Amino acid sequence: MMDRLWEIFERQCVEHMHTMGFAAQADWPEFGLRMRSEFRRLAELLWDLYHGRPDFATQVALIIEDAFKAYTRRTPTLRERDRLYPPESGWFAAQDQVGAVAYVDRYAGTFKNLESRIPSLRELGVTYLHLMPFFLSPAQENDGGYAVSSYRDTNTVYGSMDDLERLAATLASEGIALVADFVFNHTSDEHEWALKAKSGDPDYREFYWTFADRAETVVYQEHLRDIFPEVRTGSFTWCEEMGRWVWTTFHPYQWDLDYSNPAVFRAMAGEMLGLANRGVSILRLDAVAFIWKRAGTSCENLSEAHTIIQAFQSIARLVCPSLLFLSEAIVHPDDIARYIDRRECQLSYNPLLMAELWEASATKDVSLLAFSLRKRHRLPAGCAWVNYVRCHDDIGWTFADEDAAAIGIKGGDHRAFLNDFYLGTFPGSFSRGVSFQYNPKTGDRRICGTAASLAGIERAVAEGLGQDLDTAIRRVLLLYGVAFAVGGIPLLYLGDELGMTNDYSYLDDPALARDSRWVHRHRWNDALYSNRLDEATVAGRVYAGIRRLSAARKAEPAFGTQAISVPESGHRSVLAFHKQAEGRLVTILGNFADEPATIHADAGSALLAGRSGLDVLTGRLVLPGEPVTLEPCELLWLRSEVE
């Protein structure tokens, strides 16, 4: 019965397109083919969200109309990309993919200037460039660009949207995919929709979660957590112009959109397609966990959030099927995994790997890291992790307490230790990190700092500790070496390749001083860049190491596979894992200790399956039957030929 009803509904929608004159256009045949394969899935997803509305059929028809109009504006070059590189092509999982992320202004100043940085990116082997939010946003408080005032306009300091489109085309011609943020949980309170809501427009007031009485918010607030407790408590902000309380999960100037209103879904689908038509290849879906609200819940990771993303993905399949989604979910590992699917988010950040790389560096014990790699690294076919060591945000200790308990670690106590260690207050710490968003009620805290400062380079340089500096440089390369090898796209936070340390000048800027994340949001440094090829300098040593990782990764087919095996290394400080493809086995060994670690002969022979291994990073040969000694924080990628 339902099959028949969906067939009738599909026919009605196609007839509507004929009536509107769309199906008579030259663009219709390809779009019509996609409609036949995608319509039912899209309609069913929208039904799950909006079936209670009497105008459901009209809403679906309008969404499809918008999709077709966006398709007609897609350039021939982008249409060819759609045909060659749909998600099923798996291009993003190949070993030649290397990602990078930067702020436009801090890395290059403008979109046009960024074109001059392309040779620098190619030198590092970059094929994926994420530009942090470049949209129009409030001049002062804007959460680093995540308070969007217009999705169709850029921050004028960077240039215009046309400049961005030209940059996207230039990057594509150089083999670099452009990645942009899709900030779809909230807008700035200066967005046109918010301004219309403030002016009394009832239609736009319904774009946001608002409440006339504070008591109405209580049924939600009692189950919500404070995201930025140093800024404020509670998730609701009084708006004087409307005389109503507005839901503001993050900051008071970021208004949460109400996706129970299909007009919001339709409007944001339009913004998504607008970005795709500017040449964006991948959308980083910001704050995916928060986009649906329900009283009596934490309003995080609700099933409707997945439905919304899947519906956006279905629309992309109609208009721009090469567009990929990258999930940004900094939540429990079980919840992260639920966003990863070929028909939802093909890519996902791997915050667990980031956190546990730093955890292993502090403890000199790889037990938790190895446990999680065995348990949680697997992904559905056609999906990949984006593996990072540092990013624009803080480090939250996102390991699962049940995983920690399984190996005898108390999660809460361990997080407290890690915070002390990376703040540099724990005896023997090499780190110079900065606290972010301490919550005195819960004791929760996160950590900020550049990779170099957290790994010990800043401290060693300041205190003139040459041996510690050598170890700290190797530590940075060890962490990145695991990220480059483990499976997925490695993501380089630009500035890390030059060993940039913390920049405390943010404290002198009143607009930035309250947000310690600015300590690690690097500005381009000509002096460091000029030293990049001089291995007598810190910048040169780190840069050379990153380039070796990038080149070696591209040469090894095994790094284009997601599969991983994680044997016991025989040493508490040494992480071991295998990657295999095309008759080659690559055994990765990394010593997370500050002193040498030796794997005895029998264990080393077992790890290499009785074969010799050639380190593709240094040319070192490891023979079967001999012990393997790794220097402090040394990394080996041992290649063996297999039958």
Query: Which residues are the active-site residues?
Result: 286, 328
- Alpha-carbon Rg for the chain in angstroms: 25
Nearest Cα to Cα of residue 255 among 187, 338, 302, 195: 187
Q: Report which of 124, 119, 132 is spatially closest to residue 174, judged by C-alpha positions.
A: 119
Give the position of tokens 């009692």.
Answer: 222
Location of structure tokens 């000048």: 505
Integer angstrom CA distances of residue 165 from 86, 134, 142, 161, 482: 21, 12, 23, 6, 34
| Inter-residue contact 264 to 255 (CB < 8 Å) | no
Report whether 521 contacts 144 (CB < 8 A): yes
At 586, which helix (H) or strand (E)?
strand 584-591
Question: CB count, 10 Å around CB of 413?
Answer: 10
332 vs 402: CA distance, rounded Å = 11
The DSSP result for 483-494, as a single string, is: HHHSSSEEEEET
How many residues appear in the chain?
643
Tell me which DSSP letter residue 565 carries.
B
Read off the tokens for 183: 């900030």
- DSSP for 141-182, written as a single string: --GGGTS-SEEEEE-TTT--HHHHHHHHHHHHHTT-EEEEEE
CA dist., res. 180 & res. 271, Å (int) = 12
Q: Residue 195: which H helix or E strand, with range?
A: helix 192-198
CA distance linking residue 314 with residue 310, whole number of Å: 6
And the tokens for 18?
A: 């004929």
Residue position matching structure tokens 């403030």: 198
Q: Which two tokens stand for residue 456?
A: 């010990």
Query: Can you tell me which residue has the tokens 């900094």?
Result: 330
Instruction: Please state, in angstroms and rounded to a whole number, the distance separating the CA atoms of residues 288 and 327.
Output: 7
